[in-house]
Structure 1
């Protein structure tokens, strides 16, 4: 590890996971070695979880990022930079509203399907109410319950 570790990008999930892959390559460690080093540092990082994390394009949980970065040999401010980048990406993802999909046939179909389903439910409930399905015409004269042990 003569060179500096890769720096974490805070742009998007795909770039972040790609940088985690570069960090693993930089460390020169196998997944089993990463698991052992994480355990020695007081973290939990099963080798299969680390492999799955690097094989997907999803933002890993913060605890996994911490365990992985520490296991790769990154410490202090550099490790904190990885967590900060992950937090920035996660917050940006949550805060950004989905882009409007105007003109798409699929979005119009789903809107009309929703409207149709709402109309159907309204009609069914209206019919049930009109027929008296939700009223109780019988009186309860006496209720006895016994508890036998």
Structure 2
């Protein structure tokens, strides 16, 4: 698959994931809640994860273990999380995670009380990033996020 086809596929899946999240938020607003649950966000993130697996070559068994808190410092796993962040459209023009974009997405997707907890943990994890490498920083953030409160972990 050529590079343009891959970029278009990423844009399509990212748009589809955003649309799914928007629908979930709309359903919850109709039910009297403002935002989706972590379980709903996790489910809506599956297409992003499914697209990033072949792009990065990450081992699915290793990926499954992250849901139990195992985050080996494997380059394919690290780049998998960079792919997830790219597809979530929270990267700036310098290919770095944009904390403001992350906070805006959190506010848009989650009810206020849950959004506050996720934002607090995100701020802590952003402050603990030690690498400038996109793959490593994405992995560091994701690992930290799980370790702070696994009940809030929504990454695929």
Mark yes or no: TM-score above 0.5.
Answer: no
Higher relative contact order (CA 8 A, sep 6+): 2
If the length of structure 1 is used for normalisation, what is the TM-score?
0.27
If the length of structure 2 is used for normalisation, what is the TM-score?
0.26
* Structure (1 or 2) with the greater helix fraction: 2
